[in-house]
Structure 1
Amino acid sequence: MLTALRFFLIPVYIIIFASGHMIPAFLVVIAAGVTDVLDGHIARRYGMITPAGQMLDPLADKLMIIAVIVTLLYAGHISWWAAGALFLRDLGMIVGGLILHFRGKKNVPANWMGKLTTVLLYGAIMFIFFQASFAEGFLWAVIAFSFLTSIVYAGAYRKLNPKQSSQPERPSGPEEPQNQKEA
């Protein structure tokens, strides 16, 4: 239910941002972040983790972040390069996650690096909203950390889903010739 609320908050944020009300728009972003934390806590505490929730929860988060990136870019608050880096990373995570889900692969659970990346990104968004002088530099540090986190997740995925060999197993030991004539 909280995941559905986060999907609903995306157009609410866009409408409020487009009307020029920066603080209420920022509060909607914070509400999305808080509901994300609550949603995860409730699901784990009460054993309500579902495959659909494991797919939809990060999708709601990524779509909110993409909405924020696009609106901040449109308003001229972040550079094309920063927006592009964040957009490509999040789009890659969305598409990759969906592909893995529909191929029946095991999902990599959130780790401390992923959670820290999210907190840092929300911090960068706050600094941008309030036009802090160091916001752009902080955002680039978060972008670099987010790509490092993606590499860690890729390694965890490989450990969780080892590649299956398509070649038949070779027998151990020396092979004996098949067509050997006995004297």
Structure 2
Amino acid sequence: MNVPNALTLTRFILIGLYPFLYFNEGLSHNKLWAFAVFLIAGLTDVLDGVIARRFGLVTKWGKLMDPLADKLMLITVLVCLFLDGVVSLWVIIIIALKELLMILGAAFLYKNRKVVVQANFYGKLATFLFYIAITALVFRVPYSGYILGIAVLSTILALIQYAALNFKRKSD
């Protein structure tokens, strides 16, 4: 296993650690610790991609598992925020549906055309906006709901862009 894949695997472990810390009332500053795990997950996401591309360590496993880890971390954080009364259920429904469509679409493309769908600018922008929104929500920044709304809108636009790109690819 190479370093980028090990970083991705670490992110899967962090996914399980996040809710444990978030809801651990016996731990002082539990939500801050959970937020630190979220930031570490984001950092490992950036690092694994940079290292993989720079040193030629890109693998099919990494191309598939890296975005899956990202999606699971995002949904885990949003579910925790929902259970804590910070975000509405509609946010989770929209994001879960978008991610499910992305996973099914990527699986279809891989199975039928051996195409591995990779992250692009719009998907990365949506992820970045979610990191900002979640940071704002955790720290109870005024108008953080609007920031979350922008992040949700950006993720919908990213889905449309992915679909349009792959529809175009199919018709070429």
TM-score, normalising length from structure 1? 0.83
Which of 133, 154, 162 pairs up with 1:124? 133
Which of 126, 136, 146 pairs up with 2:155? 146
1:86·1:143 contact (CA, 8 Å) conserved in 2?
yes
Take 2:164 and 2:147, find their aligned partners in 1: how far apart are those partners? Answer: 26
Query: Secondary structure of the residue that 2:108 maps to in structure 1?
Result: helix
Offset, 1:133: 1.8
Count of aligned pairs between the two proteins: 163
- The answer as to 2:22 corresponding to 1:17 is yes
Aligned to 2:169: 160
Offset, 1:112: 1.5
1:9·1:28 contact (CA, 8 Å) conserved in 2?
yes
Which of 38, 45, 59 pairs up with 1:50? 59
Take 2:66 and 2:126, find their aligned partners in 1: how far apart are those partners? Answer: 16
Which of 7, 10, 13 pairs up with 1:5? 10
Gaps of 5+ in 2: 1-5
Quick one: which amino acid aligns to residue 9 of structure 2? A
Offset, 1:160: 2.9
Which of 130, 142, 147 pairs up with 1:133? 142
Percentage identity across paired residues of the two chains: 40
Which of 83, 89, 98 pairs up with 2:92? 83
Aligned to 2:3: none
Query: Secondary structure of the residue that 1:116 maps to in structure 2?
Result: helix
TM-score, normalising length from structure 2? 0.88
Change (3 A) 1:122 1:2: same
Take 1:137 and 1:51, find their aligned partners in 2: how far apart are those partners? Answer: 37
1:62·1:94 contact (CA, 8 Å) conserved in 2?
no
Which of 20, 30, 36 pairs up with 2:45? 36
Gaps of 5+ in 1: 164-183
How big is each residue's C-alpha offset from its partner over 1:124-173, in whole Å with a ceiling of 9 and x where there is no partner?
0101111112111111111111111111111111233337xxxxxxxxxx
RMSD: 1.5
Quick one: which amino acid aligns to residue 9 of structure 1? L
Q: Computing the radius of gyration over CA atoms, which structure comes out larger, 1 or 2?
A: 1
Offset, 1:98: 2.8
Take 1:127 and 1:152, find their aligned partners in 2: how far apart are those partners? Answer: 26
Quick one: which amino acid aligns to residue 143 of structure 2? F
How big is each residue's C-alpha offset from its partner over 1:87-108, in whole Å with a ceiling of 9 and x where there is no partner?
2212222233233333344133
More helix by share: 2
